[in-house]
Structures are given as structure tokens and as C-alpha cells.
Amino acid sequence: MVNSVQLRMAAISEPNRFRIVELLRDGPRAVGDIVEALNLGQPQVSRHLRLLSEAGVVEATKQAQQRIYRLHPDAMRELSDWVLGFAVLWSGRMDRLGAFLDDTADQ
């Protein structure tokens, strides 16, 4: 069974969708702005945004004739927490390695 982190990571792993997430990190953008920034066709960008939306990574609001996309804060927090879990794990391992090397250097 695929959990939400796996679903979101899979969606972000495609290079153009990753670039969209990076653009939205700076704040909400209209579809037209994303099209221009990525130099892709509007149908391609819309497809990528749909997939990111289905994965819960982005959300859209309608302003007049435009759809404005932004990162979904809960999804990004969930991904951040998942990555931080590995940082804590590796930090502890590196601390133990450092202590081991210090001990062996003293011998």
C-alpha cells in the first residue's frame, strides 16, 4: 500500500514537477507564470499541476480567469518531517563514528 509520503515523493520526482515545486516555494503563481518560467506548453504544465494536486503537493484557487497554485503546507511539512527523520538517524551515526575514531586514535 502506498502512503502519502511515497505518493508525494513519486509526484515530485519527475524533473518538471520538481521545478514547479521549486517555483512555488517562493510563493503562489498563476499557471501562465509557471508556463513562462518552465518554457513548456500550457497543456504540459496543466498536466503536471494536476498530478501534483492529486498527490496533495499543491492546491489551487481561482482568481478571476486564472488558477493560482501554491504548495500545500501540510504536505510539505510531512515531507520535511520524513527527511528530518533521516537527518537525525545519520547525525547519531556520525556522532558514534566520530567517538569511535577518537577512541582508536588515542590507542
pLDDT in tens, 34-88: 999 999 999 999 999 999 999 999 999 998 889 999 999 888 888 888 888 777 6
Per-residue pLDDT of 84-98, as tens digits, reads 877 766 766 666 667
> CA–CA separation, 52 vs 12, rounded Å?
7
The domain 4-106: what is its CATH number?
1.10.10.10
Return the residue matching grid coordinates 501554491: 70
The H-or-E segment that residue 57 falls in is none
Q: What is the DSSP letter of 22?
A: H
∠ CA 79-84-85, nearest 5°, is 100
Please say if the pLDDT value at position 25 is more than 90: yes
Ranges of each domain in the chain: 4-106
* pTM of the complete model: 0.76
